[in-house]
A and B are shown apart, each in its own frame.
With several copies, the nearest count.
Chain A
Amino acid sequence: MGHFVPHTDAEVADMLGFMGLSSVDELFSAIPEALRLAGGLEVAPGLSEPDVMAEMGRLARDNRACGPDLVCFAGAGAYDHEVPAVTRRLTFRSEFVTAYTPYQPEVAQGVLQALFEYQTLITRLAGVEIANASLYDGATACVEAVNLAVASSGREKVWVSQGVHPTWREVIRTFAAGTGHDIVEIPLVDGRTAWPADGEPGAVLVQQPNFLGCLEDLEAAKRTGALLLVAADPVSAGLLKSPGSQGADVVVGEGQPFGTPLSLGGPYLGLFACRQEHVRRLPGRLVGETRDVEDRRAYVTTLRTREQDIRREKASSNVCTNQTLIAVCCAIQLSWLGTAGLRDMALRCARGTRYTREALLAIDGVEPLTEAPVLREFAVRTPCRGDVVVERMADEGFLAGVALDDDYGGGLLVAVTERRTRAEIDAYVAAFEKVVN
């Protein structure tokens, strides 16, 4: 009951007999007695399918999910965007879901072509020539960008803007402990990175729009003369100049906004794109077009000599399993959006953001954290602490935003997606006014 082993007792006996064995335990003869687990696992016995679903349902109900009862104004790298039926239903076709990494291209053209299309779409958004087949998430994509930059620049020092998502910066520091890269954080001055005039970093990492929602000056970052690494919001690509067109060498980002639900933060999608010249240092998988024996167009993972299974300790990265299914989902969602839809989506986010920001700032005691121009997200100072606002607003039926740490001066980070209606925003603002005073 509740397990998925098909063997009947009779069949097990037959199979043992074929091997001249008389019990299943004999199969484990290689394991020294002393190491055998006596008494079995301290894990509750198996449950039937409906019992499992009842328990999972209980846990799900112990969360307050975003929806009509908790209207979402939180972002900070995880956004409540529309996910149409098409994207869900195509992404969860079992051929995509239950395939392994495409090691046998002859029977993996489905995933390979979807990834080829994904790579093409990402390069178009990033404005550089190469995109890989996905990394884990935005943070680890930043880490790989830093590693690539240090390797190609030959310089250990990397300037990281404090406009980069705080947890992403933490992840960068975590992994720098292993690589020994010298990570220097550059503070924001009224909402934008104030790059030092001198110092010779191998690379600079800036987020666009940055964590506070403000638009950064990429040219200024480029003027540092270092390799330019941009962590770009892919939705903003519907309105902004591409990072590549502004000199970015590597463009990374979080792909969650394209078809992936909030999901407590994962699985998400690490976007990674770079200029052609860096392709041999590209982390992760790359799909390329080629031909089969009958000269039919075919796709295959390529430049594999960068990868760990071949290069081993000299590999450009250790990544093996990535986030392919989420990349396929992203390709489907972007194709559903299309050229006009992507721009429309970005425009709708920007409109809601402006409308909400103006309304919130009209509440007395609510101050802008910065005057720098924003696009789809913004930060405000609030009379009471941001986390208090969030708790109180939850009782009013809103996820008010993401509370900012004190090093940002407290307050609240508010994101408004294309899903937010005027009615929802007006109700949000009314509740906000009520709870902050």
Chain B
Amino acid sequence: MQMPGGKATSAPIMGRDEEPTIFELSSPGRNAASFRTTDLPEWTAEELVPAEHLQAEPTPVCEVSERDLVAHFTRLTHRQYSVDLGAYPLGSCTMKYNPKLCDDAASLPGLTDVHPAAPPSLTQGWMELLADLASILCRVTGMHAATLQPPAGASGELTGLLLMRAWHADQGRQRTKVIIPDSAHGTNPASVTLGGYETVTVPSDSRGCVDVAALRERLDTDVAGIMLTNPNTLGLFEEDIAEIAAAVHDVGGLLYYDGANLNAILGVTRPGDMGFDIVHMNLHKTFAVPHGGGGPGAGPVAVSERLTPYLPGPIPVLGDDGSYRWDTPPKSIGRVHSWHGNALALARAYSYILANGGDGLRKVAEAAVLNANWLRHRLRGVYDIPYDRPNMHEFVASTTSLKKADGLKAIDVAKRLLEEGFHAPTVYFPLIVEEALMIEPTETESPQTLAALGDALEAIARSPEGAQAAPRTTPVGRVDEARAARQLIPTWDARP
């Protein structure tokens, strides 16, 4: 078979062809790697590895030149949308612009080239950074202490639930249930299960908030706690939060705050002040850690004083001698990460916080909420707005009426929007809204971009014909997801 070679028709600037895989670009004997000259004895594999362990054949990887390697992955980047190309109003994901200075900060050799097992005498700078970040995050959330180990939000959730579990056990209680709203993100119930609890769902009321009466019915001494995000996934602030907190605390339960939506309230209000006992933050949302196409993130967990003794260790603490040491809390649930969490992501967030400062962080929340409310107003009468009242950083629209009228589904709007030069909103989430379009503009989009987004969304609604065929301008057209699951091809080697 003739190998495809390095033509660039897969780069949208030239064409709409497939990009060959790195394996198709391989040619036997070609290579790119080179290593330092070491002057060491050149013992053979046979001399170094016991026969019973030595592989018969080298592990097949691929065989490409540096030139083809660079061209391949550069072309792939041209087939990838990103925040740096334009707006990304993906609800719940807070796809704000990530300042470039944070990239510089996180690539300082003094941070990147530090071994995680190096003794504190060699890592004081890192330990100060981590300790200060933890303390700032506590001040931002109104909590007492924090662990920076969880590498993502879901990991933070599970960490929080294990803290809940350890605390109850310590109180000599056996609790079995955790309550979550029907609007909750999927990681919440999944984490509840892994935390060894049973999920009890509480419905939302007509205002899109937790139905407090229904909640009370579910509250009993089997309840370990409740997981909420506030503003919730509809972008609405849970106005009864104080009442909810009291009710949960009354039965001896704890309140867990899913911080994915923290961007909305920075400097305005704090989970701690609302009565939450445990808070996780998504630094890859609120604090501008770029999402990397799916990660890495960082999901620190902050807790109130009574839960502090249970935090994972080690934690950097400042000794009287003015130097930092690693300390593990007395009743720690244990580590939740191999080392100290996604440290470079934490450094990025730290530099972002330094740049914004307390004043800047509040401006972030203000502009995020301003943008989201403006866009909701803009889309009135164009899309259904099931909960049409002041929202926070995001809001949920719906194509229910448009679907009835013209068969325009949320997914069609999403695909059409790609043609209009914007990433799609989050669709079909939260589950309690049908044909949901969950829109989060974030604070870094200008009013002009917002206006253009509004115009694009209106244009789509006004002329829905052909939407099912969208997108037509992207490197590939609508992708057959069913086929992928039906005839699974998870690797190049698995192709029929």
What distance in Å separates the Cβ of A173 from its nearest Cβ neighbour in chain B? 6
Interface string of B29-48 (1 = CB under 8 A from A): 11111111111111101001
Q: Please state if A40 and B479 are interface contacts (CB–CB under 8 Å).
A: no
Q: Please state if A294 and B477 are interface contacts (CB–CB under 8 Å).
A: yes
Q: Please state if A41 and B140 are interface contacts (CB–CB under 8 Å).
A: yes
Q: Please state if A107 and B80 are interface contacts (CB–CB under 8 Å).
A: yes
Known: A35-B269, A336-B66. 20 other contacts (CB 8 A): A14-B447, A37-B268, A59-B126, A60-B125, A63-B123, A70-B122, A86-B100, A94-B70, A104-B415, A107-B14, A110-B80, A116-B21, A137-B337, A264-B115, A268-B338, A292-B479, A298-B479, A312-B186, A373-B50, A421-B37
Residue B318 at the chain A interface, CB threshold 8 Å: no
Say whether, besides A40-B362, A262-B115, A136 and B18 are in contact (CB < 8 Å): no
Within B112-137, the residues touching A (CB, 8 Å) are 112-119, 121-126, 128-129, 136
Say whether, besides A63-B111, A264-B116, A334-B61, A100 and B90 are in contact (CB < 8 Å): yes
What distance in Å separates the Cβ of B220 from its nearest Cβ neighbour in chain A? 19
Residue A193 at the chain B interface, CB threshold 8 Å: no
In the assembly, what is the distance between CA of A111 and CA of B14, in Å? 16
Q: Please state if A100 and B363 are interface contacts (CB–CB under 8 Å).
A: no
Within A120-178, the residues touching B (CB, 8 Å) are 120-121, 123-125, 129-131, 133-134, 136-140, 147, 165, 167-168, 170-171, 173-175, 177-178
Residue B394 at the chain A interface, CB threshold 8 Å: no
Say whether, besides A16-B370, A63-B114, A96-B80, A321 and B152 are in contact (CB < 8 Å): yes
In the assembly, what is the distance between CA of A347 and CA of B116, in Å? 25
Give chain B residues whose Cβ lies under 8 Å from the Cβ of A197.
none
In the A-B complex, list the 7 residue pairs whose CB atoms are closest, starting with the nearest: A265-B339, A60-B110, A110-B80, A62-B125, A265-B116, A325-B292, A46-B357
The listed residue (A86, A298, A323) touching B69 by CB distance below 8 A is A86
What distance in Å separates the Cβ of A111 from its nearest Cβ neighbour in chain B? 4
Interface string of A291-304 (1 = CB under 8 A from B): 11110111110111
In the assembly, what is the distance between CA of A58 and CA of B139, in Å? 23
Say whether, besides A47-B354, A325-B293, A262 and B113 are in contact (CB < 8 Å): yes
The listed residue (A105, A107, A294, A308) touching B186 by CB distance below 8 A is A308
Q: Please state if A111 and B351 are interface contacts (CB–CB under 8 Å).
A: no
Closest residue of chain A to B197, judged by CB?
A: A178
In the assembly, what is the distance between CA of A100 and CA of B426, in Å? 11
What distance in Å separates the Cβ of B195 from its nearest Cβ neighbour in chain A? 4
Give chain B residues whose Cβ lies under 8 Å from the Cβ of A300.
479-481, 484
What distance in Å separates the Cβ of B399 from its nearest Cβ neighbour in chain A? 17
Interface string of A200-215 (1 = CB under 8 A from B): 0000000000000001
Closest residue of chain B to A111, judged by CB?
A: B293
Closest residue of chain B to A372, judged by CB?
A: B50
Residue B157 at the chain A interface, CB threshold 8 Å: yes
The listed residue (A49, A334, A339) touching B34 by CB distance below 8 A is A49
Closest residue of chain A to B119, judged by CB?
A: A390
Q: Please state if A9 and B54 are interface contacts (CB–CB under 8 Å).
A: no
Say whether, besides A28-B268, A59-B126, A318-B157, A335 and B64 are in contact (CB < 8 Å): yes
In the assembly, what is the distance between CA of A175 and CA of B295, in Å? 21
Q: Please state if B109 and A67 are interface contacts (CB–CB under 8 Å).
A: yes
Give chain A residues whose Cβ lies under 8 Å from the Cβ of B73.
90, 93, 114, 332
Within B1-46, the residues touching A (CB, 8 Å) are 13-14, 16-19, 21-23, 27-43, 45
Residue A77 at the chain B interface, CB threshold 8 Å: yes
Interface string of A341-353 (1 = CB under 8 A from B): 1111101101110
Closest residue of chain A to B29, judged by CB?
A: A8
Residue B155 at the chain A interface, CB threshold 8 Å: yes
Residue B63 at the chain A interface, CB threshold 8 Å: yes
Q: Please state if B273 and A35 are interface contacts (CB–CB under 8 Å).
A: yes
Say whether, besides A29-B390, A94-B74, A288-B488, A309 and B59 are in contact (CB < 8 Å): no
Residue B322 at the chain A interface, CB threshold 8 Å: no
The listed residue (A137, A174, A240) touching B151 by CB distance below 8 A is A137
Give chain A residues whose Cβ lies under 8 Å from the Cβ of B29.
8-10
Interface stretch (choices B161-169, B210-218, B248-256)? B161-169
The listed residue (B90, B268, B488) touching A302 by CB distance below 8 A is B488
> What are 26 residue pairs bridging A and B, where the CB atoms are less than 8 Å apart in the complex?
A5-B444, A10-B28, A15-B374, A44-B354, A45-B358, A52-B101, A58-B125, A65-B112, A84-B100, A89-B100, A90-B69, A93-B73, A100-B291, A113-B76, A120-B492, A177-B162, A240-B55, A264-B126, A267-B344, A293-B478, A294-B477, A300-B479, A338-B64, A339-B60, A339-B62, A375-B48
Give chain B residues whose Cβ lies under 8 Å from the Cβ of A93.
73-74, 77
In the assembly, what is the distance between CA of A32 and CA of B241, in Å? 9
In the assembly, what is the distance between CA of A100 and CA of B91, in Å? 11
Residue B192 at the chain A interface, CB threshold 8 Å: yes
Give chain B residues whose Cβ lies under 8 Å from the Cβ of A323.
151, 292, 294-296
Q: Please state if B295 and A35 are interface contacts (CB–CB under 8 Å).
A: no
What distance in Å separates the Cβ of A305 from its nearest Cβ neighbour in chain B? 8
Give chain B residues whose Cβ lies under 8 Å from the Cβ of A380.
none
Closest residue of chain A to B63, judged by CB?
A: A338
Interface stretch (choices B81-89, B301-309, B401-409, B458-466)? B81-89
What distance in Å separates the Cβ of A390 from its nearest Cβ neighbour in chain B? 6
Interface string of A36-62 (1 = CB under 8 A from B): 110011111111111111111111111
What distance in Å separates the Cβ of A393 from its nearest Cβ neighbour in chain B? 11
What distance in Å separates the Cβ of A378 from its nearest Cβ neighbour in chain B? 13
In the assembly, what is the distance between CA of A99 and CA of B293, in Å? 4
Closest residue of chain B to A113, judged by CB?
A: B76
Q: Please state if B358 and A31 are interface contacts (CB–CB under 8 Å).
A: no
What distance in Å separates the Cβ of B176 from its nearest Cβ neighbour in chain A? 12
Closest residue of chain B to A291, judged by CB?
A: B480
In the assembly, what is the distance between CA of A305 and CA of B392, in Å? 31
Q: Please state if B129 and A350 are interface contacts (CB–CB under 8 Å).
A: no
Q: Please state if B338 and A86 are interface contacts (CB–CB under 8 Å).
A: no
Residue B179 at the chain A interface, CB threshold 8 Å: no
Interface stretch (choices A221-229, A279-287, A361-369, A427-435)? A279-287
Residue B68 at the chain A interface, CB threshold 8 Å: yes
What distance in Å separates the Cβ of A201 from its nearest Cβ neighbour in chain B? 21
Residue B171 at the chain A interface, CB threshold 8 Å: no
Give chain A residues whose Cβ lies under 8 Å from the Cβ of B162.
174-175, 177-178
Q: Please state if A3 and B78 are interface contacts (CB–CB under 8 Å).
A: no
Give chain A residues whose Cβ lies under 8 Å from the Cβ of B494.
129
Give chain A residues whose Cβ lies under 8 Å from the Cβ of B329.
none
Q: Please state if B27 and A8 are interface contacts (CB–CB under 8 Å).
A: yes
Q: Please state if B196 and A179 are interface contacts (CB–CB under 8 Å).
A: yes
In the assembly, what is the distance between CA of A423 and CA of B36, in Å? 12
Q: Please state if B195 and A178 are interface contacts (CB–CB under 8 Å).
A: yes
Closest residue of chain B to A180, judged by CB?
A: B196
